[in-house]
């Protein structure tokens, strides 16, 4: 990448960001947009900030900056707090690294002359001046390389210290949250893979065992049932009710002064409402709702009686006993009577609760293998796209582009952005596929699904984006030359690896300026909301659905951030100028995520920060990759003391092992000491039973209550007092 393309890329990114920032501070003052910019505050009953109309454009910055961790946890939950802690940890690691790498290594590199003397002529157009700031500009086996070696150690040690402290901090915070709040899942044990009962019913089987073991603490069990049919009926009923409300609202609005009797809405009964007899929508819906309600009730009864599966929720009145039971092996063969802490009611994946153990295990292997194949073979289309999106190739393939390319400015912009854009669009297709595959694994909670998807996505990113771009870029550049001077592979690799850094810098800049600009300004949700409100929504409920933003998408956010971490870690020493850009990315991310956590995203459930061990492991994975890359590159530089880098990956693995041993247990299970404290208010058994009864099995007359309650619930942090009542 030549210098002008590089600067253009940065400049346009920055310009877009400024525009988006301006749009945000303007749009967020208009009261019709409040539901887009302050939905969390509104749904929690706080409303937009008081001075919203008169405030300075930087007020949001100050608010996001000043919010305490406790405020964030209270408003947005522990998961958001942990995500912010993750950004904070990365920021610290990169900051401390930059503290050494930038002022020491960059001057050493820029005053060297490897590129100008040894490798190629300075007139080579593909070679930017920026590349001279990297280790590539140091000649082979110079004593200056010692400074880079020290930097490698510095980076590793800084990472260990920061991660160690963060892990301890997050465990502390989690401890406080878990021990203070009585959550329904703390009283409930999920028992899976029950063997067929020898005599009596499923619930008798479970009762008999737990009542004998804990006569005082055990209350009752809820056997899991196949929900397929009830769920279908329930969804149908729900959509009919919405339709009815919509029709009533339309009818109400049609009652103008001129026409006080209004126009009753009608629709056709046939395919997609396009054919068939015309009927009165309100009457028709009411009739259908009546029918369906009867059917649903019958189906609910049948499901509870006949569709019982081999798993159950066992409810205890004592958190400590429930925690003990959830951690104990019950049967000798581990595929039977598997216990674990129940997921939070809101995040249960009902369909996966009753998968048989061995098939699930093999399914998991199958899916890992499939993901492995996807990761490997995505390389092919990606390299194809990379080749396509070089302007020269595009000109040949799509001749009309030639006229566009002739415009000087446009040419530079295109050359700067095309490869990155292609990469980003390509990646957008993947998360849903990975989420789907993770669900097939038989995971029982949504937060676990999110973690599983994020893990797969991270490895995809590392292999395809990071390694893919680095290796194919490097090898491709090297191959171009090799035809002319064969036998010089190593020195060509030497010259080609660091210049990839500038590609990644523009990639990071694009992500952080444009990505975070869009995130903050919420332009897309804003437009969609206004369109929906104008043309589609009639009832309050529909309008709420149109603006309700849902939770953070951790499964795409975290891997994207992790990719930047990997890039930054790998180039921190080899091309330290990556660091300032990565730091800007995470600084901007930190402040904007805090803003969004405090004002925008509404969490559906809280996993209690279980994402953290996952994040920590991935940061360490990125560190190992960077350590191995450095080992390789130092050897290419024929530095005789390269072997001194050997202990680093081993140290990282040991560090990961020790952290895992010390801290991970507290995330995997609930430690007894946390839940053996006395509680002021215990949830009633009835409320626990309600919470773990799926909505579609709730008696119909409770629906209305349940729905009303659902609105109320999202304004309260506590989830214990679900209003759904037990069937029979």
Q: Comparing C-alpha atoms, which of 130, 122, 2 is closest to residue 411? A: 2
φ, ψ at 524 (rounded to 5°): -65, -50
DSSP 383-421: HHHHHHTSHHHHHHHSTTHHHHHHSHHHHHHHHHHHHHH
Residue in 665, 684, 715, 718 binding a second copy, rule: CB under 8 A: 665
Closest CB to a second copy among 85 and 386?
A: 85
For a second copy, the closer of residues 412 and 676 by Cβ is 676
- State which of positions 169-188 bind a second copy (CB under 8 A): 171, 174-175
- Least Å from the CB of residue 74 to a second copy: 21
Query: What string marks each residue from 331 to 370 as x (binds a second copy by CB under 8 A) or -?
Result: xxxxx-x-------------------xx--x---x-----
Binding mask 207-226 for a second copy (x = CB under 8 A): --x--xx-------------
Per the CB < 8 A criterion, the answer to whether 458 and 448 are in contact is no
Give the total of residues touching a second copy (CB under 8 A): 39
| Residue corresponding to tokens 């995203």 | 601
Residue 40 to residue 598: CA distance in whole angstroms: 7
The binder of a second copy chosen from 2, 185, 324, 519 (CB under 8 A): 324
CA angle 701, 692, 553 (to 5 degrees): 105
Is residue 14 at the binding interface for a second copy, with CB under 8 A as the rule? no
Smallest separation (angstroms) from a second copy to the CB of 362 = 8
Phi (first) and psi of residue 317, to 5 degrees: -105, 15
Instruction: Please choose, from the candidates 398, 525, 418, 521, the residue with its C-alpha nearest in 3D space to the C-alpha of residue 12.
Output: 418
Q: How far is the CB of 369 from a second copy (least distance, A)?
A: 10
Contact between 431 and 453 (Cβ < 8 Å): yes
- For residue 546, how far is the Cα from the chain centroid? 22
Nearer to a second copy, 203 or 488 (CB): 203
Nearest to 4 by CA among 113, 130, 109, 114: 130
What 8-state DSSP symbol labels residue 459? H
Task: Supply the minimum distance, in Å, between the C-beta of residue 337 and a second copy.
Answer: 7
Min CB(652)–a second copy separation in Å? 13
Q: Is 327 in the site for a second copy (CB under 8 A)?
A: yes
In the complex with a second copy, the residue whose CB is nearer, 49 or 197, is 197
CB-based burial of residue 572 (10 Å sphere; 0-12 exposed, 13-18 middle, 19+ buried)? buried
x/- site string to a second copy, residues 666 to 685, per CB under 8 A?
Answer: x--xxxxxx-x---------
Which contiguous run of DSSP H or E holds residue 214?
none
The enclosing H or E element of 336 equals none
**Residue placing its CB nearer to a second copy in the complex, 398 or 662:** 662
Q: Name which of 96 and 209 has its Cβ closer to a second copy.
A: 209
Give the span between the Cα atoms of 462 and 468, in whole angstroms: 8
Question: Does the protein bind a second copy through residue 320 (CB under 8 A)?
Answer: yes
Q: Select 334 or 376, whichever has its Cβ closest to a second copy.
A: 334
User: Which residue from 3, 239, 328, 390 is in contact with a second copy, where contact means CB under 8 A?
Assistant: 328
Tokens of 569: 């870690």
CA distances from 452 to 319, 446, 614 (A): 28, 10, 9
Nearer to a second copy, 668 or 708 (CB): 668
Residue 261 or 678 with smaller CB distance to a second copy: 678
Shortest spacing between CB 105 and a second copy, in angstroms: 32
Task: Please list every residue from 74 through 133 that binds a second copy, using CB under 8 A.
Answer: none
With CB under 8 A as the contact rule, which of the stretches 316-324, 455-463, 587-595, 597-605 interacts with a second copy?
Answer: 316-324
Q: Compute φ and ψ for 341, nearest 5 degrees.
A: -65, 135
Give residues in contact with a second copy (CB under 8 A): 171, 174-175, 209, 212-213, 320, 323-325, 327-335, 337, 357-358, 361, 365, 654, 658, 661-666, 669-674, 676
């Amino acid at each position: 990448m030549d210098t002008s393309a590089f600067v253009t890329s940065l400049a346009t990114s920055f310009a877009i960001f400024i525009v988006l920032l301006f749009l945000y501070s303007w749009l967020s003052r208009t009261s019709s947009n409040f539901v887009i910019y302050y939905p969390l505050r509104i749904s929690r009953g706080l409303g937009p900030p008081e001075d919203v109309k008169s405030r300075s454009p930087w007020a949001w910055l100050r608010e996001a900056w000043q919010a305490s961790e406790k405020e964030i946890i209270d408003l947005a939950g522990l998961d958001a707090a942990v995500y912010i802690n993750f950004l904070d940890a990365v920021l610290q690691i990169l900051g401390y690294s930059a503290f050494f790498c930038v002022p020491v290594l960059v001057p050493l590199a820029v005053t060297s002359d490897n590129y100008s003397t040894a490798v190629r002529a300075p007139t080579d157009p593909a070679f930017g001046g920026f590349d001279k700031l990297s280790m590539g500009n140091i000649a082979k086996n110079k004593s200056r390389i010692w400074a880079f070696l020290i930097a490698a150690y510095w980076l590793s040690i800084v990472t260990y210290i920061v991660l160690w402290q963060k892990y301890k901090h997050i465990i502390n915070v989690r401890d406080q949250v878990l021990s203070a709040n009585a959550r329904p899942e703390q009283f409930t044990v999920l028992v899976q893979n029950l063997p067929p009962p020898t005599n009596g019913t499923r619930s008798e089987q479970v009762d008999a065992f737990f009542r004998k073991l804990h006569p005082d603490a055990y209350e009752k069990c809820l056997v899991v049932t196949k929900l397929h049919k009830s769920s279908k009926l329930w969804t149908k009923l729900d959509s009919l009710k919405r339709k009815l409300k919509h029709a009533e609202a339309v009818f109400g609005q049609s009652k103008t002064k001129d026409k006080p009797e209004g126009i009753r809405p009608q629709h056709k009964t046939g395919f997609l409402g396009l054919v068939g007899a015309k009927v009165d929508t309100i009457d028709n819906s009411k009739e259908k709702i009546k029918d369906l309600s009867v059917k649903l009730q019958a189906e609910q009864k049948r499901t509870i009686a006949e569709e019982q599966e081999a798993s159950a929720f066992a409810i205890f009145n004592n958190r400590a006993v429930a925690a003990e039971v959830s951690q104990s092996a019950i049967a000798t063969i581990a595929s039977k009577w598997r216990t674990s802490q129940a997921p939070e009611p809101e995040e249960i994946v009902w369909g996966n609760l009753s998968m048989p153990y061995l098939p699930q295990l093999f399914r998991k292997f199958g899916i890992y293998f499939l993901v492995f194949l996807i990761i490997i073979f995505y390389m092919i289309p990606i390299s194809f796209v990379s080749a396509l999106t070089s302007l020269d190739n595009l000109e040949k393939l799509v001749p009309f582009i030639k006229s566009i390319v002739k415009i000087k400015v446009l040419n530079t912009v295109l050359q700067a952005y095309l490869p990155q854009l292609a990469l980003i669009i390509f990646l957008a297709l993947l998360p849903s596929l990975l989420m789907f595959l993770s669900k097939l694994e038989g995971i029982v909670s949504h937060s676990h699904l999110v973690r599983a998807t994020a893990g797969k996505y991270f490895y995809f990113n590392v292999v395809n984006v990071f390694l893919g771009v680095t290796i194919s870029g490097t090898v491709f550049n090297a191959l171009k030359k090799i035809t002319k001077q064969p036998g010089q592979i190593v020195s060509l690799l030497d010259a080609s690896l660091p210049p990839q850094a500038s590609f990644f810098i523009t990639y990071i800049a694009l992500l952080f300026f444009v990505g975070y600009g869009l995130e903050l300004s919420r332009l897309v949700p804003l437009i969609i909301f206004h369109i929906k409100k104008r043309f589609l929504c009639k009832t309050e409920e529909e309008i709420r659905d149109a603006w309700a933003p849902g939770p953070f998408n951790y499964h795409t956010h975290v891997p994207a951030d992790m990719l930047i971490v990997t890039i930054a870690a790998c180039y921190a020493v080899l091309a330290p100028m990556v660091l300032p850009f990565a730091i800007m990315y995470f600084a901007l991310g930190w402040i904007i995520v805090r803003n969004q956590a405090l004002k925008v995203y509404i969490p559906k459930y809280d996993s209690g920060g279980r994402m953290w061990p996952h994040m920590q492991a991935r940061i360490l994975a990125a560190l190992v990759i960077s350590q191995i890359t450095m080992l390789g590159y130092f050897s290419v530089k024929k530095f005789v003391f390269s072997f001194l880098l050997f202990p680093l990956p081993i140290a990282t693995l040991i560090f990961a092992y020790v952290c895992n041993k010390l801290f991970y247990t507290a995330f995997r299970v609930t430690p007894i000491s946390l839940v053996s404290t006395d509680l002021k208010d215990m949830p009633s058994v009835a409320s626990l039973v309600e919470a773990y009864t799926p909505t579609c099995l709730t008696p119909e007359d409770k629906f209305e209550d349940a729905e009303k309650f659902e609105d109320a619930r999202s304004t309260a942090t506590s989830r214990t007092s679900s209003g759904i009542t037990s069937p029979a």
